[in-house]
Amino acid sequence: MLQIAHLSFSSPLVLAPLAGYSDLPFRLLCRRYGAGYCVSEMISCHGLVYGQKKTLQMLRSDSLERPVSFQLFGADPEMMADAAEIMSEFHPDMIDINMGCPVKKVTKNGGGAALMTAPKTAEKILKKVCNRLTLPVTVKIRTGKNSRQINGVDFAKMAEDCGVAAITVHGRTWSQAFAGGINKEIISKIKNNVNIPVLGNGDVLSYRQGINLMEITGCDGVMIGRGALGNPWVFTENGRPNNREEILNTALEHLNLMEKFLPVEKILGYVKNQISKYFKELANSSKMRQKIFAAGDLYELKETMHSFLVIKSII
């Protein structure tokens, strides 16, 4: 069983923060299908401090997804602490600090994985945030800047000294982004050099792969990101079902959650993108996805989805 600070989780496999995907409906679905907990999309410290409406909407939660972690990103220590205080008013169970995102729009301002190259700034952020909050603070990092500058172990020890309750290690460097295999040895070294829970992340596309990563590295839990898209069963031992009807019903379940919690008509393209992920391995999937993206409104989208349950093939 995974435990972080005072929190105990039903599974050591958790949903990673996925920009553009880890919204409330998807988190609810993943929790329903076995994720120990879920982490929100990255939330900007500037957006919180300046009270931007779209940013604040990302903090919407529901009791059914508890426990939940909200993830915060930025590079200014004082602003990060102020934003963490604002975030805590929305009552997450944990707050995660992103120090691992390799995307340029985040790193160009010194945030995300860029903080791996600025450990003094990272230390100031973690100390200030931990000192301001009473709830557990965690951090997500990478192994280092590149293959010649691996500092994950020292960075993790620094984070522990600052008071973080757990560390998630994406087993790639900043320069790798999402290419190439993960470095399991570094994850293992980090686990062996700190006294707080360590979660591994990267290249996990099934329940079995997650358990294997824990067995190989000794890490306490595993974050699953891209492997969960269109596949909330990734958190279960049996995995994605072979039953076409079950897959379609889960896609409809996801659509219903989006209809309940999101302004779906305003973001129909986003909704279609989420739903289309379920069909990637089904027979005639390309035709099914074409029909999904051709839907003109939510009603037509739902009608299309229901039609998939009635007919056995898409012509």
The set of catalytic residues is: 101
Residue with structure tokens 């349950």?
Answer: 309
88's CB contacts (< 8 A; 6+ apart) are 95, 133, 134, 135
Six-digit token string for 147:
């293959």
Task: Determine phi and psi for 134, rounding to 5 degrees.
Answer: -105, -20
Cα dihedral across residues 234, 1, 162, 81: positive or negative: positive
- Do the Cβ atoms of 271 and 258 come closer than 8 Å? yes
Six-digit token string for 165:
């309750």
User: What is the rounded distance in angstroms from the CA atom of residue 23 to the CA atom of residue 197?
Assistant: 25
- Do the Cβ atoms of 193 and 158 come closer than 8 Å? no
Provide the 3-class DSSP secondary structure of residue 246.
helix
Six-digit token string for 47:
């957006």
